[in-house]
Chain A
Amino acid sequence: MADLDEVPQVTRAGRTAGRTADGTADGTADGTAGGTAGGTAGETAGEQHPFGEYGVRSRVRDGLRAYRMIAAMWIRSTMAYRASFAMTTFGNFAATSFDFVAILLMFSQVDELGGYGLSEIALLYGTSAVAFGLADLMIGSMDRLGRRVRDGTLDTLLVRPVPVLAQVAADKFALRRLGRITQGLSVLGYALVTLDITWTPLKVLMIPLMVCGGGLIFAAVFVGGAAFQFVAQDASEVQNAFTYGGATLLQYPPALFAKDLVRGVTFVLPLAFVNWVPGLYVLGRPYPLDLPTWLAFAPPLVGVACCALAGVAWRAGLRSYRSTGS
């Protein structure tokens, strides 16, 4: 079982005997075989594809489709209790507001923090919170992986004909996490209304760039953290330190923190690209580490690179997985 994550694909295509792999298979026959296996789940994505061409692209598409279906199922089940959904969403909104309430309480006593005004900090806060909220909504359930490894329920996911990453990511998909995104958006809105800066088209473009690129970076941290839990098992709090801790760190300007810490989150774990580097460009302030200005536009690239690395880590983690046997 060296290649556990291959198993789902083989099953999905309706094949019991091994992977024909790399272009040798005859297309037409396999295409029809795939159709029967996917009968209950509607059209099968790989259907039109000869088995031999079953490459990265179709695997990603399959994963996304499975993710969509599992998430939709969880949304339907959540919506069975609408009042409860409304309350938990509000609770999520209120709970995540606390960081900003703390900042507001600080500003009830001072006018500046590390040389930054409330609107400027609100911009950093809002972009960090929305980017993190998006990643949390999409794959926030990844931190459950350690528990699944411990109690053996991960095995169930391994035998299903669906990519494991998609299953883990969509597991218990919690729409209530929109509360965090809403909260972040309202702080971001406040920042954009009150900021006293000259907006250029590039600076305007930077806002969605930060949110999307930042979301990708945080998503990579979630996946990388989950990969780590294949090894560590009950160390989900370590993951929290990087996800929630990272989001909290980015809510304050880098000027507050020790140089080494700033270096660490710029060059080692590039969280600074979520909002610090591009955000300081928008605010027209120099970054504490003398980075070239054009790096402010790097967040989407950094995000994609991080996701690729996290994907590699995930596969390595999954390969190393040994079931508890329970």
Chain B
Amino acid sequence: MGTGRLYAAVAAGGFRRYATYRVATAAGVFTNTVFGFILAYTYLALWHEKPDLGGYDQAQALTYVWVGQAMFAVMVLGSVGFEEELIERIRTGDIAVDLYRPVDLQLWWLAADMGRALFQLLGRGVVPMVCGALFFDLALPSGPLPWIACLVAVAFGALVSFAIRYIVALWAFWLLDGAGAMQITWLTGVFFSGMLLPLNVFPGALGDLARVLPWSALLQAPADVLLGEADPLGTYAFQLAWAAVLLAVGRLIQSAATRKVVVQGG
């Protein structure tokens, strides 16, 4: 089996694993839609007070809400994904078995996580977006090009999301308990991805800072590409630069960590 086919199979496994839980997926869609409605009404009030806030008009702001709900599960903005399992394997020592396998640890988890992200996009992204479009006036592009451009940005965003969470998980080699690290990442992620409010609404320097941090690649970037507010190529460059840096850091930590591993007998 070629390596490409191997990782494709791992990705397909990641997809199928989440596809198994249909009721849970439907329940997630329901929750995302409910939260989408609540947020949409608050944004309506906010943009009624100040039209053109952050450079968005009202329809764009509402579109942002529903893109956010669609990205919620894809980018793992409100929960934990594979990192919980990886931390558990590190804590229990099962990781030693993984390290003996003739596959690359980082690529293995990346493939599985991309499969998951694809499922979440289809399973939990499409329906809330359609609901939003039915109930509100959204600023959706008419041609296929912006949609394709947005999907590419989503893929790169998922890559950044994985890279961040991989680094967090590897800290378990030193901390042994990942709960604190996961919680901090979760908090920063929600805040700086634009899940709370679009980053262009953040005031002054805080807004500038938020826009250069990697989390803006997760939600703000794909949303702005879809809304025609950002140049796709510049956005991709930004996302890929962060992905490259974070994946490289993850790899460095991984090699440091695997040198540290002491396999206990018994």
| Contact call A98/B187, Cβ cutoff below 8 A | yes
Chain B 170-204 interface mask (CB, 8 Å, partner A; 1/0)? 00000000011001101100110000110001110
B interface size (C-beta, 8 A): 34
In angstroms, Cα B182 to Cα A88, docked, is 11
Interface segment among A124-132, A240-248, A299-307, A314-322: the answer is A240-248
| Contact call B203/A108, Cβ cutoff below 8 A | yes
Question: Which residues from B are CB-within-8-Å of A106?
Answer: 42, 46, 197, 201
In angstroms, Cα B187 to Cα A91, docked, is 9
Given the interface contacts A109-B203, A237-B31, does A248 sit within 8 Å of B38 by beta carbon? yes
Interchain Cβ contacts within 8 Å, total number: 93
| Contact call B187/A95, Cβ cutoff below 8 A | yes
Indicate which residue in A87, A98, A110, A238 contacts B49 across the interface (CB closer than 8 Å): A110
Given the interface contacts A109-B50, A256-B41, does A248 sit within 8 Å of B191 by beta carbon? no
Given the interface contacts A88-B179, A237-B28, does A245 sit within 8 Å of B45 by beta carbon? no
Cβ distance A241 to chain B, nearest Cβ, rounded Å: 4
Question: Which residues from B are CB-within-8-Å of A252?
Answer: 38, 41-42, 45
Query: Which residue of B is nearest A235, CB measured?
Result: B27
Query: Which residue of A is nearest B179, CB measured?
Result: A88
| Contact call B27/A109, Cβ cutoff below 8 A | no
Residue A72 lies at the interface, judged by CB distance under 8 Å to chain B: no
Indicate which residue in B41, B50, B179, B197 contacts A102 across the interface (CB closer than 8 Å): B197
In angstroms, Cα B45 to Cα A111, docked, is 12
Chain B 201-242 interface mask (CB, 8 Å, partner A; 1/0)? 111000000000000000000000000000000000000000
Which B121-138 residues have a C-beta within 8 angstroms of A?
none
Q: Pull 6 A–B residue pairs with CB atoms less than 8 Å apart, ordered by A.
A: A88-B183, A91-B183, A91-B184, A105-B196, A108-B203, A238-B30
> Which chain A residues have a beta carbon within 8 Å of chain B's beta carbons?
87-88, 91, 94-95, 98, 101-102, 105-106, 108-114, 232-238, 240-241, 245, 248-249, 252, 256-258, 261
> Which chain B residues have a beta carbon within 8 Å of chain A's beta carbons?
21, 23-24, 26-28, 30-31, 34-35, 37-38, 41-42, 44-46, 48-50, 53, 179-180, 183-184, 186-187, 190-191, 196-197, 201-203
